[in-house]
């Protein structure tokens, strides 16, 4: 397929039922549209603004659900890790280890992920330039692992806003395949409530700009009922809206592929 690939699923694994339902729904759509698909779900949320935010259902329990999704639907899976000790543990269950944006400068963590031999998805820090992601990619490759992907989730713009700098897409493609994280790049952090806000109506705008500027993949968190999700509800895409969006983006990608 010359189509973009998709990392999608719920922000956090809240339970087996919701994970399986979401996976089933997206697998059907992506099969139809020839979109290579990776199921995404966090087994633990470690960087909440507030200590009373939801942090997960238990590590092993969540990781086993990720494995079940993978085996049931024959799709690879991705989850994020936060400590060195998470790397081997998660690598038993998933295909792609994701380094969160806040942690991409932690050398031990990046190297631990790289040494599992799994694909490493490095999120660009909100405080990093596209150019500086070269150093993070080099850490993975110097650890003997050439399976590395960069995901852009936006850059700090003042205290309470983020912006995606699309000039960075071609820059980062020189280092590794590039994914645009549509969900988190629309966040508006540091809100006074301690709960991150966002502007989900812009999801298609951002995704179209990403495809037009040559991203290899898209990352979108989805939920049957974003308003009642236990984390990141403000920016997740309702599954109802996913089909039309993926149809549009697939058409756009086809055109982009044909341009000289």
Residue 146 makes contact with its own copies by CB under 8 A: no
Tokens encoding 219? 């990352």
Q: Helix 242-258 and helix 16-33: axis angle, to 10°?
A: 40
Positions 153 through 182 that interact with its own copies (CB under 8 A): 155-161, 163-167, 169-170
Residue 72 makes contact with its own copies by CB under 8 A: no
Rounded to the nearest 5 degrees, what angle is found at the Cα of 204, between the Cα atoms of 254 and 257?
15
- Segment interacting with its own copies, rule: CB under 8 A, options 29-37, 67-75, 81-89, 217-225: 81-89
Residue with tokens 């549509």: 182
Closest approach of its own copies to the CB of residue 73, in Å: 28
Considering only residues 16, 59, 83, 216, which one is a binding residue for its own copies as defined by CB under 8 A?
83
Judged by CB under 8 A, the number of residues near its own copies is: 70
Considering only residues 1, 31, 32, 47, which one is a binding residue for its own copies as defined by CB under 8 A?
47
Considering only residues 25, 73, 177, 190, which one is a binding residue for its own copies as defined by CB under 8 A?
190
Residue 50 makes contact with its own copies by CB under 8 A: yes
- Choice between 18 and 45, CB closer to its own copies: 45
Beta partners for residue 5, in sequence order: 217
Considering only residues 21, 25, 48, 68, which one is a binding residue for its own copies as defined by CB under 8 A?
48
Positions 216 through 255 that interact with its own copies (CB under 8 A): 244, 247-248, 251-252, 254-255
Alpha carbon distance 221, 152 (integer Å): 14
Closest approach of its own copies to the CB of residue 136, in Å: 8
- Segment interacting with its own copies, rule: CB under 8 A, options 13-21, 145-153, 197-205, 220-228: 197-205
Phi, psi of 40 (to 5 degrees): -115, 135
Angstrom distances, CA of residue 35 to CA of 3, 8, 50, 73, 241? 6, 11, 36, 14, 16
Contacts 24+ apart (CB under 8 A), 103-108: 104/128, 104/133, 104/136, 105/136, 107/139, 108/84
Closest approach of its own copies to the CB of residue 72, in Å: 31
Please give the residue ranges that form the binding site for its own copies (CB under 8 A): 46-51, 55, 82-85, 102-103, 105-108, 111, 125-129, 131-132, 134-135, 138-139, 142, 155-161, 163-167, 169-170, 186, 189-190, 192, 194, 199, 202, 205-206, 208-209, 211-214, 244, 247-248, 251-252, 254-256, 258-260
């Amino acid at each position: 397929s010359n189509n973009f690939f998709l990392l999608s699923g719920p922000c956090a694994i809240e339970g087996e039922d919701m994970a399986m339902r979401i996976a089933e729904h997206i697998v059907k759509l992506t099969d139809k549209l020839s979109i290579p698909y990776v199921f995404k779900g966090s087994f633990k949320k470690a960087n909440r603004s507030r200590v009373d935010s939801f942090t997960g259902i238990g590590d092993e329990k969540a990781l086993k659900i990720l494995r079940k999704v993978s085996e049931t639907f024959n799709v690879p899976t991705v989850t994020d890790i936060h400590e060195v000790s998470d790397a081997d543990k998660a690598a038993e269950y998933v295909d792609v280890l994701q380094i969160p944006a806040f942690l991409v400068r932690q050398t031990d963590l990046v190297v631990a992920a790289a040494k599992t031999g799994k694909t490493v998805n490095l999120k660009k820090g909100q405080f990093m330039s596209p150019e500086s992601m070269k150093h993070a990619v080099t850490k993975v490759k110097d650890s003997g692992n050439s399976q590395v992907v960069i995901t852009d989730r936006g850059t700090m713009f003042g205290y309470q806003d983020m912006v995606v700098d699309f000039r960075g897409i071609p820059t980062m493609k020189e280092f590794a395949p590039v994914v645009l994280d549509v969900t988190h790049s629309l966040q508006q952090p540091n809100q006074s409530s301690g709960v991150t806000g966002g502007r989900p109506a812009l999801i298609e705008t951002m995704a179209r700009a990403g495809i037009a500027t040559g991203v290899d993949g898209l990352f979108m968190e989805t939920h049957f009922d974003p308003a009642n999700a236990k984390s990141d509800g403000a920016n997740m895409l309702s599954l109802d809206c996913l089909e039309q969006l993926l149809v549009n983006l697939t058409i756009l990608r086809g055109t982009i592929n044909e341009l000289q």
